[in-house]
Amino acid sequence: MKKIAVAFTGPSNSGKTTLITKIADILLETAQVAIIKHDPKDKASFDTKGKDSYKFSQTGAETVVVSPTRTTYFSQKSRTLDELVQMLGDFDFLLVEGLKTLPLPRIAIFRERIDESYFAYSQAIAIDKSVDIHQYTIPAHITVLDLNNPYAVIEWIKKYAKQL
């Protein structure tokens, strides 16, 4: 399989980590998965139960946490996407949380309400039943996905992820 990558974004507590973890668990049954998490506040820790980075590392996927001052993966400086891909080695799917500036297809995740400012750099949104989709004008280029259906999200990823 070719290496492909997709990014996830959204407000705090929107369900990004939960969705990425579900997707990784499913993909790991038949493929190699790597996860990169952006840590803009420099507070991630792999050994703190309940934290996002802990949950990602528990999936069995290779996991990298990127912050402004370090990359937690045997490195003490931030890395570019190309450098991270090289460090990760073999994988089929790369799931990135955050890092809005990376040139990757992006799924924005929302609960309760949609923040339309995410439309400018997203190709899909994943929402649950708490969002009244009829209150919004979704641009034609954005696919609406069910946040609670990781298999549908995986199908979208297989179709639209960036080949590396």
| Domain residue spans of the chain | 4-163
pLDDT of residue 39: 62
SS3 content of the chain, % helix, strand, coil (to 5): 30, 25, 50
Helices (H), 2-149: 16-27, 52-58, 81-88
Helices (H), the chain: 16-27, 52-58, 81-88, 150-160
pTM: 0.79
> Are the C-beta atoms of residues 23 and 97 closer than 8 Å to each other?
no
Among 3-7, 43-47, 151-155, the least confident range: 43-47
Per-residue pLDDT of 80-119, as tens digits, reads: 777 877 877 789 999 998 767 778 999 999 999 999 999 9
Beta strands in 39-119 (DSSP E): 62-66, 71-72, 93-97, 106-110
| Alpha-carbon 73 to chain mean position | 18
Give me the architecture of the 4-163 domain, per CATH.
3-Layer(aba) Sandwich (3.40)
